[in-house]
A and B are shown apart, each in its own frame.
Chain A
């Protein structure tokens, strides 16, 4: 049987706006993913720890507070330090397009801005996982 895609939906930093994260988490669940939601106010260290512990394929970080240029690179770096480069780090929120480009060069996956259909994120994760099969 196929392994279900496992996604960690994370709220990193002190930002409390969780509407988007929760809607995305519910959409992923309805799309058949295994979803773990971190809850609020997580540090990058806590996010990475949860991702390793839960053995996820994808970390999806929601950020609306402007801290994306600090938090995304930290999550990527900590994952790299743990030898977990095989995990996709993606996310969404209020992120200006120029910052999306910069983060993409630093190893962050596609980022979804306001108005993105959740179906696009589901599709993106499915395709990414299909293209990056895990050694079992």
Chain B
């Protein structure tokens, strides 16, 4: 969307000797102000004489950017209404009064590979180097709810995350890590309820009661259909499971965040910043509506919803995106959903730097990219942060690469001084203008999605998928036509480059080991008990009014596997298939 940054109110831009008007901030009726006239004059001169390089003066999302932003871009903005103060509605400047003066963000590196025992070792390594919370990456079969010995899992077991089949694996994964003291985030969505049940059974085995367990379940079923494409059930039963988990957390687990509504994967799939913002928030609103429809009070669960955004390379656009996200969420929760508790209005979010911005070429440069992106997340007021490792376009990260990524956050936190002030870019003419624009773009998308029948219908009709694909194809063409430069990829290329960083290899032995230990679990458990509990789960799935969490936890306690639980529910819920389109 193109908008002139400098508005002249239809006046001759050269009329510098026109009647004196109130300076910016005064009454608006008397024509252009002094500042407006001066800005218009500057712009006129700029257009006449300024020299510009032949470049794309756009954000990474393809939004036109003016050469300069001034107070005249603030015309419709009301400071108290739209910007306000940190810790106060609408939270544009941050959800906490003191922001990082009070508490730093949580440095939370996403990790997982191979078997539960290997990942447990990595967790201990990260905790020893100052990491503050855990974040589990599961392998693809786990993300889809398939057991490691399922023929569909062939070749993928333990490859891009840890393989977890049953309570036995969860016990190993958290060996020596007290689940009542450390918070755990789990990136799991389609089968989130199943994996959560396994996790809760493991906490129980450690002797930690549910109400003491803190952490986050990603549990964002919608974004799987929109972007990441690791689903388990069709959209409608998937929403039921999300509501079941929201309800269970609000009743039994005061320290648990039931859904982390995720834009990260939407952005990685190629969306623009506005699409990431709009689709994610709309997904969040749809969960809110579903939970309200199921009879929950918005203030009983909304404070437990959190968000997860990408930090891409367009520094200011990203910062504006986080600021806009907070403002939109606060406004909708208070004004549309009638939330009364300020905690329901506060959008808390985790940030991960953009994996898709990293290059396989000259991978050491990725340290720099990640540092810039991480800085955007911090200046945008994130509550927790994952910094990617330099080698992630090549393989899973090595210990050394992970440590540099963590150190990057520590350098930002302790050496740069950016933590001294809340929202240091608030009041920047450019950042405020971008924030307003992203909010408008998101509101346009909300109307469009509603007109198309809402999120579920848009998923079923492939609307989001097409919008994202269009954006990613445009971006790729811009790269190939060299309209955008990526250092080391389409410019500053080094011929015959040798990769000189260590690469982590996952041995294919992992799959054989995991399958063997799964077999052992099946041999040593009480199989009659498992069968009875699976039957009870299927029965409960047939009854819309039942919360499935207690049934899943019972299956987990009996060492039922995730694939068995998926199948027990799939009998009722069916499977999802997406029409191939490009």
A-B interaction: yes
Q: Does chain A have a CB within 8 A of B228?
A: yes
Say whether A96 contacts B395, CB under 8 Å. Answer: yes
Q: Does chain A have a CB within 8 A of B343?
A: no
Q: Does chain B have a CB within 8 A of A38?
A: yes
Interface residues of A in 1-42 (CB under 8 A from B): 9, 13-19, 21-23, 25-27, 29, 35, 37-41
For A38, list chain B residues within 8 Å (CB).
Answer: 580
Q: Does chain A have a CB within 8 A of B309?
A: no
| A-B interface pairs (CB < 8 A), number | 120
B533-577, CB under 8 A of A: which get 1 and which 0?
000000000000000000000000000000000000000000001
For B356, list chain A residues within 8 Å (CB).
Answer: 19
Given the known interface contacts A25-B582, A37-B580, A96-B395, the answer about A15 and B156 at a Cβ–Cβ threshold of 8 Å is yes
Interface residues of A in 82-113 (CB under 8 A from B): 94, 96-97, 113
**In the bound complex, CA of A96 to CA of B499 (Å):** 10
**In the bound complex, CA of A68 to CA of B270 (Å):** 23
Residue in B155, B359, B473, B582 whose beta carbon sits within 8 Å of that of A13 in the complex = B155
Given the known interface contacts A39-B578, A114-B393, the answer about A70 and B160 at a Cβ–Cβ threshold of 8 Å is no
- Among A51-59, A115-123, A128-136, the one that faces the other chain is A115-123
Given the known interface contacts A96-B503, A118-B480, the answer about A67 and B228 at a Cβ–Cβ threshold of 8 Å is no
Q: Which of A29, A70, A113, A115 has the most CB of B within 10 A?
A: A115
For A23, list chain B residues within 8 Å (CB).
Answer: 270, 469, 472-473, 476
For B154, list chain A residues within 8 Å (CB).
Answer: 13, 67, 70
Say whether B582 contacts A22, CB under 8 Å. Answer: yes
For B153, list chain A residues within 8 Å (CB).
Answer: 14
**In the bound complex, CA of A17 to CA of B479 (Å):** 20
CB distance from B484 to the nearest CB of A (A): 13
**Interface residues of B, count at CB 8 A:** 52
B368-407, CB under 8 A of A: which get 1 and which 0?
0000000000000000000000000111100000000000
Q: Does chain A have a CB within 8 A of B141?
A: yes
Say whether A40 contacts B140, CB under 8 Å. Answer: no
Q: Does chain A have a CB within 8 A of B529?
A: no
Determine chain B's interface SS by DSSP, over half rule. loop
Q: Does chain A have a CB within 8 A of B294?
A: no
For B395, list chain A residues within 8 Å (CB).
Answer: 66, 94, 96
**In the bound complex, CA of A88 to CA of B146 (Å):** 31
Say whether A14 contacts B230, CB under 8 Å. Answer: yes
Q: Does chain A have a CB within 8 A of B182?
A: no
Say whether B156 contacts A97, CB under 8 Å. Answer: no
Say whether A13 contacts B140, CB under 8 Å. Answer: yes
Say whether B480 contacts A13, CB under 8 Å. Answer: no
Say whether B480 contacts A69, CB under 8 Å. Answer: no
For B140, list chain A residues within 8 Å (CB).
Answer: 13-16, 65, 67
Q: Does chain A have a CB within 8 A of B420?
A: no
Q: Does chain A have a CB within 8 A of B486?
A: yes
Say whether A66 contacts B230, CB under 8 Å. Answer: no
Query: Taking CB as reference atom, which chain B residue is nearest A15?
Result: B140
Say whether A119 contacts B359, CB under 8 Å. Answer: no
For A118, list chain B residues within 8 Å (CB).
Answer: 476, 480
CB distance from B118 to the nearest CB of A (A): 14
For A21, list chain B residues within 8 Å (CB).
Answer: 582
Q: Does chain A have a CB within 8 A of B268?
A: yes
CB distance from A119 to the nearest CB of B (A): 6
Interface residues of B in 140-163 (CB under 8 A from A): 140-141, 143-144, 146, 151-156, 159-160
Query: Taking CB as reference atom, which chain A residue is nearest B486?
Result: A115
**In the bound complex, CA of A65 to CA of B506 (Å):** 11
Q: Does chain B have a CB within 8 A of A71?
A: yes
Could you write out 23 A-B pairs with CB less than 8 Å apart? A14-B144, A14-B146, A14-B156, A17-B228, A17-B269, A18-B229, A19-B270, A38-B580, A39-B579, A40-B578, A40-B580, A43-B151, A66-B395, A67-B154, A68-B155, A70-B154, A70-B155, A94-B395, A96-B503, A114-B358, A114-B360, A115-B393, A115-B488
Other A-B pairs beyond A94-B395, A96-B394, A114-B359, 12, CB < 8 Å = A14-B156, A19-B268, A22-B473, A23-B270, A39-B580, A65-B159, A94-B393, A113-B393, A114-B360, A115-B488, A115-B489, A117-B479
Q: Which residues of B contact A (CB under 8 A)?
A: 140-141, 143-144, 146, 151-156, 159-160, 224, 228-231, 268-270, 356, 358-361, 393-396, 468-469, 472-473, 476, 479-480, 486, 488-490, 499, 503, 505-506, 508, 577-582
| Leading 5 A-B pairs by shortest Cβ distance | A70-B155, A16-B229, A39-B580, A66-B159, A67-B155
